[in-house]
Amino acid sequence: MTAIAHFDDHDVVAFARWLEADLASLSERPLWSMSTQDTEAALLSLTRVRGQLDALLMRVLRQAEAVGAGMGTGATSTPSWWSHATRTTRAEAHRMARLAKSLEEHDEVAHGLATGDLRTDQARVIVDAVDDLPDAVEEWVPAAATRFLLDKAAEHDAKDLRTLGRRVLEAVDPAAADAEEARRLEGEEADAVAAASFTMVDDGHGTCHGRFTIPSRYGAMLMKDLKARVARECRKGATGAVTDEERPVPLSRHRVGRAFMDYIETRSSAPAPKAGGVAATVVVTMDLETLLGGIKAASLDTGGRISAGEARRLACRAGIIPVVLGGPSVPLDVGRKRRFHTEAQRIAMGVRDGGCTAAGCDAPPAMTEAHHDEVSWGEGGGTSVEKGRLLCPPHHRRIHDPTFQHSLDKHGKVRFTRRT
């Protein structure tokens, strides 16, 4: 196929026609003679070129909108005409048009895409993250956030970059991030309380059906209690002949439903059961500054975040265990005086480990047991946070099983191999 050029063509038009024809000529060319090095080089180069072509396409799209391209056909907009003419979905055409418009206000991002240093999806993530910064930030923050994300784009794909983008304010202006998170969390908490509801209907056949809406922190409290009850029932069954000793029992909807029944029956007259040595209570971790009146958000051991004001209120309530970092706390190292870890030690280990420390295991702290790491208690080891770790029951049994050996990987996770 030969490109048809006209003497009065604009450079971009001539290039587009030449490229279209040249690429078509390669479509039938066999690739069997390409070596490993050739294919690697071609893949890397073509990936960069694809981003560069997108950058040029978006510049042309902006010019097309400026001159009203396609409007003579009765289309409602240039992107709509382009979508119909090229059989691009309307959603994708308008997404590209929005990005093209945004890049006009993000010169560094546009340059990175035009030079092939960025992928199109990375550019979109960076633009969205910077545009989503609060209006109240100082003037220098957007530029600093852009440079930070451009640097990270050299190491991270768009998915990871989006995660970094959500927390970019913490990286470039931590004080502003704390204030913004406090404002956002307080608003979300107020909205969640205002939206709280509970409905339950008896169907007349011995079953009730319900639905509720409550703030996330209360949901975390309820689910942690239910998980502890499920864990208790699993331990009861561990002595039976039918229990699978190698796998944790999954948290099925039926098991959680049974736990909820137990919760309703016993909640008013019995304390919450313990799982792995810790009562089914939510642990709130906060800086001393937050406890004394600061604005920095606190963390829940269930993975959520709450405002400073809510953390201070919950720290005074039953069923909540505060862990204050940087301030006085209960003694966590009791040395050889105890064989079993205390509840305070288990809480500290749960905050540190986040659950089972076996590689690939996602059992939460409530479903784990405390293990004496390195030297067992029976061999003279101490009972402390520093020399302990959390393991779910199956992995705890395995670490004491002589048919397996274990080691720590670079992330501090326990990996098992069967002895030969």
pLDDT, tens digit, for every residue of 382-406? 556 667 888 888 888 788 777 888 8
Q: What is the spatial distance between Cα 307 and Cα 296, in angstroms, rounded to a whole number?
A: 7
Over residues 115-160, the pLDDT tens digits come to 999 999 999 999 999 999 988 889 999 999 999 999 999 999 999 9
289-313 core/surface letters (b: 16 or more CB in 10 A; e: else) = bbbeebbbbbbbbbebebbbbbbbe
With a cut of 60, say whether residue 241 has pLDDT above it.
no
Residues in the chain: 420
Percent of the chain, pLDDT > 70?
77
Output the pTM of the full model.
0.53
Over the chain, what is the mean pLDDT?
80
With a cut of 60, say whether residue 60 has pLDDT above it.
yes
Q: What is the spatial distance between Cα 17 and Cα 71, in angstroms, rounded to a whole number?
A: 23
Over residues 293-317, the pLDDT tens digits come to 777 787 776 667 778 777 766 655 5
Closest CA to 82 of 100, 104, 107: 100
pLDDT of residue 302: 66
The angle formed by the CA atoms of residues 388, 389 and 392, to the nearest 5 degrees, is: 135
Which stretch of 211-225, 301-315, 341-355 has the lowest confidence by average pLDDT?
Answer: 301-315
Across the range 190-196, mean pLDDT stands at 90
pLDDT band at 332 (very low <50, low <70, confident <90, very high): very low
Q: What is the spatial distance between Cα 200 and Cα 206, in angstroms, rounded to a whole number?
A: 13
pLDDT band at 4 (very low <50, low <70, confident <90, very high): low
Specify the higher pLDDT residue, 381 or 118. 118
